[in-house]
Amino acid sequence: MSAIVKLMLIAIAAVPGILTCIVPERGTRFGDFAKRSNVVLRVQANATFQNQASANRYEATFQVTGLFPSKSGGFQPGDRVTVGPFGPAPRCTPVSAGSQYILFLRRYPVGTGFTYGLRYNPISLTRRTVFFFGRLLAGKITGRHFMVSGCRELARPRNGKVQCTRESDYLDRAQTFHGDITNHRNIFFWDDKTKGVEILLAKATNSRRYKTPVLAFANWLQTSTYKIPGGMVWLNYRGANMHTANVAFLSLQAAELADRESDTLCFLNFSTTQLGFLTGSRSSQGYVVGLGLNSPRNPHHRASSCPPEPAACSRDAISQGSTNAHVLYGALVGGPDQFGRYVDRASDYLRNEVAIDFNAGFQSLVAGAKHWEMRAQAKKSQSGT
């Protein structure tokens, strides 16, 4: 297929840099767009639009940036899709230059080949768009290393949209998807966000249906979960510190939902105590690189391990056994085993691995602890004590 494919539609140029397109049928939902289209592409609008000689006639070029299963129609990332020329059309939707969109194309047979027309107007790649694609393609992604579970991935963005827009449809769907979750655990991380979903639903609805399990989980963390010597929560051998930080962050959230002030203070104390274990302020060993004298110096991280230039950098640097040449400030390492044993060695990926998801909950925990500290200071200031 040619890299430039001509697509014809009727539209009007509103102002330079903005294109307006025909509106789809009233009541058509995003999932219907994809189901009824032969080709669905993720594209980026070019920064400029070419004005043709005739008045009010423009054409715009989109660059393909992504494809969707069985909807690519032979396109490849990097192909250009030219839409136009355009003429007047009422009731249109703007398309901004440089923004990400979804194009819904219809394939027409021409001779021995095909041409393509725009079936629906380009849809901005917003949270709503991503969610509907999640629903449309749920259960259709497979692969050796694809390990994400489904329903909680759909419930969580609905919660986020509820908080931003207060649209009841999002809340209803989030509650429906939450009801479909059957295999959750007493844990919170990238592949099991059930506890986080319950907290968001509890805040959005103030319903005991969600508050009760949230508060029960926070109490369980206090009294029944496994802790290594010293008192730090330990939930999983892989990313032990990540799991500690994540549930400590959830405990901060539960403090806002507690019915009694004593529970609020108990949940806050648990979170700040766990934060102290991670930073090393409550133990002889910290787990945040570059934070204090007792912090790790050898995270499992190639760039941190590699010697300064002009020396060559390779994956072998991690296994050399010497102290890392560079400090990866702020990284939370994997953490101790179930007996509290920890060795600061770069080659030990279980104890010294670093990752973005390791730091996500930790940074949220730090921000949340600071938030509660500032609230306490403000309350103290207002009371004049």
By annotation, the residues acting in catalysis are 344, 353
Please tell me the distance from the alpha carbon of residue 62 to that of residue 39, in angstroms, as a whole number: 15
At residue 289's C-alpha, the angle toward residues 320 and 377, to 5°, is 175
Whether a cis peptide bond, with omega within 30° of 0, leads into 307 is no
C-alpha to C-alpha distance for 217 and 210, rounded to whole angstroms:
11
Tell me the HSE value of 124 on the side-chain side, using a 13 A CA sphere. Answer: 12
* E strand or H helix at 119: strand 113-124
For residues 245 and 331, what is the distance between their CA atoms, to the nearest angstrom? Answer: 13
Helices and strands, number each (H, E), in the chain = 11, 10
- CA 216/CA 186 separation, integer angstroms: 10
* C-alpha separations of 1 from 6, 7, 39, 111 in Å: 11, 14, 14, 15
Taking the C-alpha atoms of residue 171 and residue 155, their distance in angstroms, rounded to an integer, is: 9
The pairing of beta strand 58-67 with beta strand 39-45:
antiparallel
Token pair, residue 86, equals: 């355009």
Sign of the dihedral through C-alpha 283, 289, 295, 296: positive
C-alpha to C-alpha distance for 55 and 228, rounded to whole angstroms: 75
